[in-house]
């Protein structure tokens, strides 16, 4: 059995998948498999994988179940003790898997090992933007507020940890769920927070921007409403696990979430939406202002500036330099 399995959810990523797989095959660790889950693609995604002759790659094709469903299918098929996740348009630096394996080998109490990320554009060019998350002392409250894991291509998970949070909902006849497939957004933080609230596994990062995370600069703010609705549904779902925890931490976590969405709107030059989200963040909690004043004030200033005539284009240019944002 391989030491590690890398799950690649792939939906209509024929344009980026060859580069993704090349980055994974170039890992300095040598005891791993790659499980590509073609999630009902209508392009050449499956054909690209089928043309590769590397025995470390396996292809599973299924009807579209969404990102969470593709990950679950890959996890169910994985044979490794450690399971990495890499979306079909992101990249891993060559030493990433080896670094996570060494970390998990040395720290048996850690269930999720993650790294920082560097942002790249559609042409794989660096954007000089980074996620440099907190690496140690990450508890459930910090996960809820700031989600240092950051994105779905950053973590490598311990299989034994995943087995603790697996479940099979009514009507599922094929395999267990780890990620909740009823979520099309916020499925990552739902899983990480559920793990933190129901098990004693630790979450810990390792140094370096070992993931190259691809972002799209346009059309970001249109998704902020759906993203917020998914986040609120995640809170509603998990609150019964620990009502006191959510009563204590939800206002600050909501403020951080609203600030994050405001930065997405700023990156898209959507001043009115950004300003509305900033005001809602401040009304929910002033904790982001106290804990991260520079980032919060920059977001407020950028949102305010974008409401001025002719500011949208300049705001987008400035945002690409100083504001990080995820895929649209």
Per DSSP bridges, beta strands 202-214 and 110-120 are parallel
Q: Is the pLDDT of residue 311 over 80?
A: no
Complete DSSP assignment for 289-313? HHHSHHHHHHHHHHHHHTTSTTHHH
Q: How far apart are CA 12 and CA 26, in angstroms?
A: 23
Q: How confident is the model at residue 320 (pLDDT cuts 50, 70, 90)?
A: very low
Supply the mean pLDDT for the chain: 92
Q: Are strands 32-39 and 57-62 parallel, antiparallel or unpaired?
A: parallel
What's residue 328's pLDDT?
A: 35
Give Cα separations from 325 to 80, 88, 202, 219, 242 (angstroms).
32, 18, 27, 12, 30
- How many angstroms separate the CA atoms of 202 and 115, rounded? 15
Helix or strand or coil: residue 251? helix
DSSP class of 112: E
Residues 64 and 11: beta-carbon distance below 8 Å: yes
Once rounded to an integer, what is the mean pLDDT over residues 5-19?
97
Q: How confident is the model at residue 322 (pLDDT cuts 50, 70, 90)?
A: very low
| DSSP β-ladder status, 82-85 and 91-92 | unpaired
φ and ψ at residue 289, rounded to 5 degrees: -65, -35
**Conformational region of residue 310, where left means phi above 0, alpha means psi within -120 to 50, and beta covers everything else:** left
Q: Can you give the pLDDT at residue 43? A: 96
CB within 8 Å of 194: residues ≥ 6 apart = 165, 238, 241
Q: Rounded distance, CA 33 to CA 54, Å?
A: 10
Position 16 confidence tier, pLDDT thresholds 50, 70, 90? very high
Does residue 17 carry a pLDDT above 80?
yes
- CA gap 174, 77 in Å, rounded: 11
Distance CA 85, CA 7 (A): 5
Q: What is the pLDDT of residue 217?
A: 56
What pLDDT score does 310 carry? 55
Q: How far apart are CA 199 and CA 166, in angstroms?
A: 12
pLDDT band at 308 (very low <50, low <70, confident <90, very high): confident
Instruction: Check residue 314 and report its DSSP letter.
Output: H
The length of the chain, given as a count of residues = 328
Closest CA to 265 of 256, 277, 253: 277
Radius of gyration for the chain, computed over Cα atoms and rounded to the nearest angstrom:
19
Burial of 134 (0-12, 13-18, 19+ CB in 10 A): exposed
Q: Average of pLDDT values for 280-304?
A: 95
Confidence of residue 202 (pLDDT cuts 50, 70, 90): very high
Task: Encode pLDDT of 51-87 as tens digits.
Answer: 998 999 999 999 999 999 999 999 999 999 999 999 9
278 close to 300: Cβ distance less than 8 angstroms = yes
SS3 state at 188: helix
Structure tokens at 143: 């996960």
User: 89-123: per-residue pLDDT in tens?
Assistant: 999 999 999 999 999 999 999 999 999 999 999 99
State residue 327's pLDDT score. Answer: 45
């Amino acid at each position: 059995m391989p030491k590690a399995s890398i799950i690649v959810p792939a939906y209509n990523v024929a344009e980026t998948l060859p580069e993704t797989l090349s980055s994974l095959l170039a890992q300095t660790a040598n005891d791993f498999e790659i499980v590509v889950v073609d999630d009902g693609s209508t392009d050449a995604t499956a054909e690209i994988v089928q043309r590769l002759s590397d025995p470390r790659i396996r292809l599973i094709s299924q009807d579209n179940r969404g990102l969470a469903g593709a990950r679950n299918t890959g996890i169910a098929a994985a044979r490794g003790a450690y399971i990495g996740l890499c979306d079909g348009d992101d990249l891993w630096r060559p030493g990433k898997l080896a670094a996570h394996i060494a970390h998990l080998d040395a720290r048996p109490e850690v269930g999720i090992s993650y790294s920082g990320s560097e942002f790249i554009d559609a042409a794989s060019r660096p954007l000089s933007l980074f996620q440099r998350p907190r690496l140690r002392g990450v508890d459930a409250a910090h996960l809820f507020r700031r989600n240092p894991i950051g994105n779905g291509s950053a973590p490598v998970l311990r299989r034994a940890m995943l087995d603790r949070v697996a479940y099979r909902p009514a009507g599922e006849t094929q395999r267990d769920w780890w990620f909740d497939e009823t979520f099309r957004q916020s499925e990552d933080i739902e899983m990480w927070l559920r793990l933190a609230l129901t098990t004693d596994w630790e979450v810990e990062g390792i140094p370096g921007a070992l993931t190259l995370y691809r972002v799209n600069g346009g059309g970001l703010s249109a998704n902020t409403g759906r993203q917020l609705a998914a986040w609120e549904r995640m809170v509603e779902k998990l609150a019964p696990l620990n009502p006191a925890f959510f009563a204590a931490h939800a206002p600050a976590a909501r403020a951080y979430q609203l600030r994050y969405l405001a930065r997405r709107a700023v990156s898209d030059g959507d001043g009115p939406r950004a300003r509305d989200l900033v005001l809602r963040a401040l009304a929910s909690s002033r904790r982001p202002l106290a804990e991260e004043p520079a980032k919060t004030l920059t977001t407020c200033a950028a949102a305010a500036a974008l409401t001025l005539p002719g500011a949208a284009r300049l705001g987008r240019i400035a945002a690409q330099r100083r504001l990080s944002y995820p895929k649209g």
